Chain A
Amino acid sequence: MTQLALVIDLNVCVGCHACVTSCKEWNTSGWAGPMTDQRPYGEDPTGTFFNRVQTYEAGVFPHTETYHFPKSCLHCEDPPCVPVCPTGASYKREDNGVVLVDYDKCIGCKYCSWACPYGAREIDEKLRVMKKCTLCIDRITDMSLPESERKPACVLACPTSARLFGDVHDSDSEVSVAIREEGGYALQPEWGTKPANHYLPRRKTRIQIHEDELVRADNPLKKEQLPTLPEGGETLDDVAW
C-alpha cells in the first residue's frame, strides 16, 4: 500500500508563501481548477486556496521564537471527511492514498468541512463545490513528466526544501527516514485520524558542556602556575644571560 504525503520541516520554513502561490498557479489551471477568487482587488478579498502559511509566536518578548506553519490537507489514513459525504464525491484513492473530491458529484453541502478537524477543506464560492489539496494529483501521476518533476507544485517551489514528498508507507523513502530520524509528528493525533502528512519540529544543535570544561586545568602556559621566586630574591642562576 502506498500512502503519498508531504513532510513539512518547520525547522527551515521561512514563511515566504512560495508554496501558496505555486499551488494556486498550478492548480487553478489544472485538473482541480479554476480556483476562483472573490473581489481579488477589492477591500475584502477572499478566494479558494489549497494551502496556507500561518505564523505563530512562542514565548514572550524578548524570548520569542517565530514558527511559520504551512497548512493543507493532511490526507489522513482514516479520513473523517470521506464517510460523511452523502454523494461519494469525497474519496480516498486506493492506489496512492490521496484524498480527493469529484467536483462533478459534489453537491456543496459542506458536511465534509464540518467533519474535518483541521479545516483543510474550503468551498469554492463560484463553482459551489468543496475543494481541497490534491497533492497535485495531475502532476504526480503524469508519466510524461520526468520523474524529478512528478512532485506537487509546492514541493518544487520551496526555496528552502522545507517540503518533502514521498510514500510514508515505504520505510526507506526520504519522507519515512525524515519522520523517523528527525522527530516527525502528526497534527492533533488525539483524534486517531492518522494524518499522512507529518511535520518536522524545530531542531537545535546543543552540546552539554560544563564550565570547568572550558578552562584547561593543567595548562602549562598559565602564568599563575609558573614557579614562584625563591625567598631572598633572585640568585645568579635566575638571571638569564
Chain B
Amino acid sequence: MHPAFSVIFLTTLIGVGQGLFLALFTGQLYALANLLPAQTDAFYAQGSLIALLLLIAGLVASVFHLGRPERAWRAATQWRTSWLSREVIVLPAAMMFTALYGLFHYLGWTQPLFVISQTLPVDATLIVGALGTVATFLLFLCTAMIYASLRFIKAWHSPLTVANFLFLGIASGFMLAAALSAYLSSSLVVFYGTWAVVATLLGAISRGAALYRNNDFRCKISMQSAIGVHHAKLHQKAQGFMGGAFNTREFFHGKSDALLQMLRYGFLLMVFILPVLLILLAYLLESSRLPIAAFLIQYAGLVIERYYFFTEAKHPQNLYYQSMA
C-alpha cells in the first residue's frame, strides 16, 4: 500500500496522546494507593492538556486523508458495521474525557464525593479518568481494527496489529510522561520510565512477531485465480491504460527493497533499542534531558514504523497491475 502520511500522523499522534493520558491516570491510581507521592493538580492538568493537544493534532492530520472533510460528521453513522465509524465516535469521546480530566484537576475538584469500603475515596477526576481509560482502550482497538479487519490484506489481518497499536501507543505515551516529569522535575521519572521500557519491550515482542509473520509473505490469490485462466505461465501485457490510475498509485509504495530494509532496521533501532538504552542511562546518570531525547527518538521511530506498516501490506488487487508492455 502507498503510505499515507495523514494516517501515519493520525495513528502515531493519538497513540502518544492516549498513552500519556493512561500514564497520568496510572500515576494518580498509584498515588491513591500510596505507592507514589501525590502529584499536584497542575501536573495532571498540564499533562492532560498535552494529551488533548496530541489527540487534536491527530484529528487534524486525519482530515487531510479525506476527500470531503466537510462531510466527516456522516462518518459516525455506520458504527454497527465499520471500525472506521466506531473510531470516529470513540476519538471525540476520548478527547472529551481527557479534557474533563484535565479541567477537573485544574479546577481542583478532588474532594472525595463518596468513599468505597472506607478506604477508597472517589472524586470526580477518578470517575472521569476511569471512563477515559475505557475510551482510550476502545480507541486503540478501533484504530487497529480498521487495519486488522481487512481480511484481504494478510500483513494486517492479525491480532498482532492490535497488540502493536496498543503497546507502541502506551510505550510512547509513558515515554512522553517520563520526559514531561523530567522536564517538570517531578519525582515520577523513574516510575514512568520503567513502565515505558516495559511497554516498549512488549511492543518489541509483538512487532517482532508481526515482522516474522510477514517475512515469508505469500498472497492467498494467484494470478490464475484472479483472472480465471489456469495456465502456469501467465503474464500481463497491458493494464488498460498507459498513464497510471488510482489502482497503480494507491496500492503500490514503489520503494526499493534496500530502502525498506533500511527503514526496518531504522525503526527497530529508534523505537525499541535507543529509547530503552537512553532511559537506562537517564536512570544511571539521573539526567533530566535523556528521557526527553528518548521520547523524541521513539516518536520519530514510530513514524517510520507506521510508514513501514503500510509498505508491508500487499493488496490482492496488485495482481491486476503487474506489468505493462
* Residues of A participating in the B interface, judged by any CB pair closer than 8 Å: 10, 17, 20, 39, 44-49, 52-60, 65-67, 69, 71, 80, 82-89, 105-111, 113-119, 121-123, 125, 127-129, 185-191, 199, 201-202
Contact = CB atoms under 8 A, between A and B. Distances in A.
Nearest to B65: A109
B67 A191 contact: no
A189 B316 CA distance: 13
A44 B66 contact: no
B304 interface: no
A105 B316 contact: no
Contact of A108 (B68, B223, B228, B236): B68
Nearest to A65: B231
B141 to A, nearest CB: 16
B104 to A, nearest CB: 32
Contact of B239 (A54, A57, A121, A190): A54
Nearest to B81: A83
A57 B66 contact: no
A107 B237 contact: no
B240 interface: yes
Contacts, number: 176
Contact of B233 (A10, A55, A60, A122): A60
Given A84-B83, A111-B82, 11 more contacts: A17-B240, A54-B320, A56-B237, A60-B233, A82-B81, A86-B75, A87-B77, A105-B74, A111-B84, A114-B1, A117-B317
A84 B227 contact: no
Interface stretch (B17-25, B109-117, B246-254): B246-254
Contact of B82 (A47, A52, A86, A199): A86
A115 B78 contact: no
25 contacts: A39-B243, A52-B239, A54-B240, A54-B320, A55-B237, A58-B233, A80-B151, A84-B150, A86-B84, A87-B71, A87-B74, A87-B78, A105-B71, A106-B71, A109-B84, A110-B67, A113-B250, A115-B150, A118-B316, A119-B318, A119-B320, A122-B245, A122-B247, A187-B227, A190-B225
B146 interface: yes
Contact of A86 (B85, B229, B321): B85
B220 interface: yes
Nearest to A123: B246
B281 interface: no
B316 A117 contact: yes
A57 B246 contact: no
B241 interface: yes
B229 A117 contact: no
B148 to A, nearest CB: 12
A216 B230 CA distance: 38
A55 B235 CA distance: 9
B77 A114 contact: no
Nearest to B234: A58
Contacts of A17: 240
Given A54-B239, A117-B316, A190-B220, A110 B229 contact: no
Nearest to A106: B68
A187 B317 contact: no
Contact of B72 (A47, A107, A116, A185): A107
Contacts of B31: none
Nearest to A48: B246
A49 B82 contact: no
B221 to A, nearest CB: 5
A190 B218 CA distance: 14
Given A56-B236, A119-B317, A189 B84 contact: no
Nearest to A44: B243
Contact of B235 (A56, A69, A186): A56
A111 B244 CA distance: 20
Contacts of A127: 67
A56 B240 contact: no
B317 A84 contact: no
B82 A85 contact: yes
A114 B243 contact: no
